[in-house]
Structure 1
Amino acid sequence: MIHKSMQTTSLIDLAIALAAIIGAFILCICVVYSRRRGGLESGPIRIETHTTHEKVVLFVCPYCSAKVEQGVTECPSCGGKV
């Protein structure tokens, strides 16, 4: 004869195992459905990167001695015409 507490424990263990199996099954269905719709890993993604090198020429403002980029008509520091 099986003790009543052992019977309850084994039923709880069985319920937990069954819930885990059902959860895994639902997860598998979701993954398959998502892949068919183009969700997870729908294919390789091409990422292109470009590196550009830009030469910046600086000169000194005659009014405040701030460094100013070539092509700027007014000093960003003092507003003087350069």
Structure 2
Amino acid sequence: GVASVFALALEAGRSYRVTIEDVGSEFNLEVYGPSGRSIGAAQADGTLAELELSPTTTDTYFLVTRQGAGWYPVGQFWLEVAEIQ
């Protein structure tokens, strides 16, 4: 299948909360660094998913959605990335 992919510019030494609302379906999301290593994962329950990230390097990370064993294209939803003070 196809995935929905979102690029996130994150800085080392900071913490972030990724919030997804109004997803309308259940799926998994995972954030990968440029090396392909996962730095966090969560499950959306149809209404909300939250994920906290503390990257160790400043870089562009990729949030990818999938369902089961396959990649999963997600329709419309609201995505927020906020720094945790």
Q: TM-score scaled by structure 2?
A: 0.21
Larger radius of gyration: 1
Q: TM-score scaled by structure 1?
A: 0.22
Between Structure 1 and Structure 2, which shows a larger proportion of strand residues?
A: 2
Between 1 and 2, higher relative CO (CA 8 Å, sep ≥ 6) is seen in 2
